[in-house]
Structure 1
Amino acid sequence: MADPVFTLESLQTFTDQGWAIFPCHSIRDGQCSCGNSSCSSPGKHPRIYNGVKGASTSREQVAEWHQSWPDANWALATGAPSGVWLLDLDKSDVKDGAAAIKAWMEERAIVPFATHVVQTGSGGLHYYFTGRGIDLRNRVNVLPGVDVRATGGYALLPGSNHLKGVYRVVRDVRITDAPDLLVDFLSSTQGAGGGEHGPLPSDLDFLQGVDEGARDDTLFRKACQLRRKYNDNREIVTAFVIAAATRCDPPFPIDQAMVKVEQAFKQDHEDGDPFFHDKEGFWDRRPVLASIYENSEKTGVSPWGALGGAILRGLHTVPYDVRYRSFRGPASLNLGVINVGESGGNKSLTGRLLDDMLDFGPFAEFSESEAGSGESIVDSYAYWRNLSKDEREEGGPTRELAWLMPSHAHRFRFDEVGKLGAIAKRDGATIFEYIKSALTGEQIGRKLAGNLGVQLKKDEYRFTITINAQPTRAEVLLSESEVAGGTPGRFLWCLMDYPPFGDSALDHDDFNAIRVEPFELKPVPWDGVPEIKALEAMNREHRDHMRAGHRGERNAIDGHAVMVRVKVAIGLMVLDGRAHLNDEDWELAGAVMDHSNATRARVQLALAGMRERNLEASAKRAAFVQTRTLEHVADAKQARLTRVTERLRKFIEDNPNASESRQKQHLKHGPDRELYAEAMARLDRETSADVIEG
């Protein structure tokens, strides 16, 4: 297979016409250049961490990428970023996209397309169309073998290579508009994965009501849709598919559901695999990241959990009075990490790994404890020390604030989120208010009567916190009130379960036998560094974030997202041994935030499923109680009716000529009189039965 040949000049012809492009892996020696022999998308997934989202029209950016990866495949970000969308016509033993679209057009008397056409490496066809002002999304199987590459998607450019051949132009003509009928058809059933079967149901209940014989196909189509919707995040797709499989009646076998997920990710898409499974795209970008990844693989812990811990330790090396400064002013570097994983998810081994691997020396001095209340956070930093007579100045104070650590630094931890929840439920609990204030470096503490109580001034301390959380027990972090207050968005969320390393997971005894390769960190020279200045890209992000808030386009949960990314970037900067930010710090921090957001979404999904299961159980209990109540009421009514009937029978026998009015008067109680008609009807039936039997 020939290597792809893209000169810088040829790439700039794309960017000069406003096309947003980016580099992808290519085929080398019969396999994907990512080095993964079982790669699910060989030669097609992005080399840059943020994939299609990072596509650029900048000559300078493209030149930098081309210099880094001269033999890369290149892709076009279709739809809104480039003003071009295309029809992807697959050809296989079971599908012929060209034949399907031709038949569809002939039925509507549409003239064949006269536009630019590229043949894919596997023999399919890409029909290019102008897309300015057309709101189309990426879709799969709109007709058999016909996909849409539009906003959110991408396509390899001619010159790229594939396991089966090279992408090449087969009709080199001007790109034209698509027929209106075709655009209307594609716009009428928006949403990836709708296909000829119409839109799919919700992400949790899409198997409800589906015939058992059709569930395999429905599950596969939905997995493909979710893959695109969640930007190839396999963990989120898997969580949705498993949740749907267990919720339907009868449940769909989990092992078969996982097969459908695997098939969805092996589909020959133009999409890339999740960036955080791509070692070359993220973990090999820096020596310290590669060391974290390799040692995590050796010990079976999650590299994301290790990276989150390393970032916190790195921030502890930054003097407490050094702050970040953007156009908005100075900001604190205090940060929290939520480690998400099931019980026994190697959270303690992650700490041991960092202890053995990263030696910050005296640069990261901090004390550590578990907070018992909001007030105890302050007590972990400082106390009032009474001055001796020799220390006092005449007329001066009799005490001074004494810091427990010269670095003014403390790391808090909650080994189980349930402990935090229990503290938060106490009457008058202030734990969350203190945590939120500390994460932004605000003044914390309180003054008490008699000038007692400790207060820490704004930006006078370094605060970090780690919370270990099982997904279905994290309600305290994602409750309606905490989401509204922005609590979850102040944290970095790290996944502690990492399936690729599952086979190498160790217990504590095995860990002792493994040699963790230490990484020599370069000490950062903080002398003469009063603040860490924002990059221009960071200031732009702050502005965009503010404007989105003013327009009401920002969720409360993401109110602190930019600042968390800032702190991650600074942590990565420190791990790289620098006191000044660069563009790569900001770029890599974006990758970390993508992982954080995906992890938080996984927890939200788990909680949503738990809530629905609880609601279902509550509904069943309520229905049972209601049924028993109705049965009790019915039994009581029948007993009263029998009693009223007997009273009327005796009264009528004694007073055969009594009028209906006198009969009712005999029933003194109102509820008994309400049953008069039913009681008389029962007497009539008994009388009729006696006559028949006689």
Structure 2
Amino acid sequence: MIKFISSNGKAALAYASKLNWPVFPLHTPNKNHCSCQNPNCQSPGKHPRTKNGLKAATTNLNLIVGWWRKWPNANIGVVTGKESGFIVLDVDPRHGGEDSLKLLINQYGRLPNTIEAITGGDGRHILFKNPGHVKNRTNILPGLDIRGEGGYIVVSPSIHVCGKRYEWELSSRPLEVPLADMPEWLLRLIVEPVQDKPARKPDDYWVKIIQGVGEGERNMSAASLAGYLLGHGIAAPIAYELMLLWNERNDPPESIEVIETTFHSILKRDLKRLKGRRRA
């Protein structure tokens, strides 16, 4: 049965049989396009081939063999949450994820050794035991997402649209390293609701930020400053220009792309908050 199946298919079978992780086939990137043949595809190589999407995920070896005989080069998706027994901290360096994670580690301490993957986009998937009732969340801090109930990740040896393959970090591979519990401080961060009116920060906090900050503090400071400006009624275009001027004081300055992403993330959150108030 396994003899006549692709390497991706064999990997999918291994995840299901050795780790009891439910898998399902994803589309495959092909020269900056996607096998779905949609020229406007927003997630090439990352979305399901099956009609039921991640709900089709299974550990049934016969189904898995059938899928990868039909689509030999299909990327591999693994569901997160109750079915697989793990949730994932998704670190995206393109949106400042490494800086955000560094800031958290400096404040709370190092993460425990656990299973970790290097994504095709040079990000990281850090896996923890499923504590239960953790849902997907985006942007808990700039560049940091959570994959929980109703989510999934792409796993090795799947290929990214940039041409790189997903791979397990050499010292943190499944079967060689056990899943660790998520630290309590991180769990609190992702499950406790954000207060509508955060505690007022002292003036010296803002004085320090306005003077410019270092590399490890830029993203958190950018998020705080954006929230402060928008929360005080500064029009979004003006607030954004002030953010760009402030960024020139940082050592070194953050990329314009990250500043823009952070600002729009805070702006989106602020608009949702205002919309909720109007409904109330």
Per-residue Cα deviation, 1:31-86 (whole angstroms, up to 9, x for no partner): 11111222111111110112112211211221221121111001111111211111
After TM superposition, give the deviation of residue 98 of structure 1 in Å: 2.1
Matched, 1:154 2:139: no
- 8 Å contact from structure 1 (residues 89, 97) kept in 2: yes
Q: What is the alpha-carbon distance in structure 2 between the residues aligned to residue 7 and residue 148 of structure 1?
A: 25
Q: What is the alpha-carbon distance in structure 2 between the residues aligned to residue 113 and residue 19 of structure 1?
A: 22
Matched, 1:185 2:184: no
* Aligned ranges 1:671-690 → 2 under 5 Å: none
**What is aligned with 1:37?**
39
**What is aligned with 1:67?**
69
Amino acid corresponding to residue 127 of structure 2 in structure 1:
Y
Amino acid corresponding to residue 48 of structure 1 in structure 2:
T
**Larger % of helix: which?**
1
Matched, 1:27 2:25: no
Amino acid corresponding to residue 144 of structure 1 in structure 2:
P
Q: What is the alpha-carbon distance in structure 1 between the residues aligned to residue 90 and residue 187 of structure 2?
A: 15
* Aligned ranges 1:113-262 → 2 under 5 Å: 113-131=112-130, 133-164=131-162, 165-173=164-172, 174=177, 175-189=179-193, 211=233, 213-214=235-236, 217=265, 220=268
Task: State the number of aligned residues.
Answer: 207
After TM superposition, give the deviation of residue 211 of structure 1 in Å: 4.2
After TM superposition, give the deviation of residue 219 of structure 1 in Å: 6.5
Shift in CA distance, 217/168, structure 1 to aligned 2, threshold 3 Å: closer
Pick one of 91, 94, 97 that aligns with 2:93. 91
Larger Rg belongs to: 1
Instruction: Pick 1 or 2: higher relative contact order, CA cutoff 8 A, min separation 6.
Output: 2
**What is aligned with 2:106?**
106
**What is aligned with 1:79?**
81
After TM superposition, give the deviation of residue 10 of structure 1 in Å: 2.2
Q: What is the alpha-carbon distance in structure 1 between the residues aligned to residue 79 and residue 186 of structure 2?
A: 21
- 8 Å contact from structure 2 (residues 92, 98) kept in 1: yes
* Aligned ranges 1:264-303 → 2 under 5 Å: none
What secondary structure, in the 3-state scheme, does the structure 1 residue paired with 2:127 have? strand
Q: What is the alpha-carbon distance in structure 2 between the residues aligned to residue 134 and residue 214 of structure 1?
A: 38
- 8 Å contact from structure 1 (residues 15, 58) kept in 2: yes
* Aligned ranges 1:547-566 → 2 under 5 Å: none
- 8 Å contact from structure 2 (residues 80, 149) kept in 1: yes
* Aligned ranges 1:286-365 → 2 under 5 Å: none
Q: What is the alpha-carbon distance in structure 2 between the residues aligned to residue 10 and residue 218 of structure 1?
A: 39
Q: What is the alpha-carbon distance in structure 2 between the residues aligned to residue 189 and residue 70 of structure 1?
A: 43
Which TM-score applies when normalising by structure 2?
Answer: 0.65
After TM superposition, give the deviation of residue 160 of structure 1 in Å: 0.9
Shift in CA distance, 56/219, structure 1 to aligned 2, threshold 3 Å: farther
Q: What is the alpha-carbon distance in structure 2 between the residues aligned to residue 31 and residue 120 of structure 1?
A: 18
Q: What is the alpha-carbon distance in structure 2 between the residues aligned to residue 43 and residue 212 of structure 1?
A: 40
Q: What is the alpha-carbon distance in structure 2 between the residues aligned to residue 212 and residue 7 of structure 1?
A: 52
Deviates more, 1:6-15 or 1:99-108: 6-15
Could you tell me the percent identity over the aligned residues? 30
**What is aligned with 2:11?**
10
What secondary structure, in the 3-state scheme, does the structure 1 residue paired with 2:62 have? helix
Which TM-score applies when normalising by structure 1?
Answer: 0.28
Query: Over the residues paired in the alignment, what is the CA RMSD in angstroms?
Result: 3.2
* Aligned ranges 1:185-584 → 2 under 5 Å: 185-189=189-193, 211=233, 213-214=235-236, 217=265, 220=268
Per-residue Cα deviation, 1:95-143 (whole angstroms, up to 9, x for no partner): 32122112212212x2333122111111111111121x43211010111
Per-residue Cα deviation, 1:593-643 (whole angstroms, up to 9, x for no partner): xxxxxxxxxxxxxxxxxxx9xxxxxxxxxxxxxxxxxxxxxxxxxxxxxxx
After TM superposition, give the deviation of residue 248 of structure 1 in Å: 9.9
Q: What is the alpha-carbon distance in structure 2 between the residues aligned to residue 56 and residue 66 of structure 1?
A: 13
User: Which structure 2 residue ranges, 5 or more long, are not aligned?
Assistant: 1-5, 195-219, 224-230, 238-263
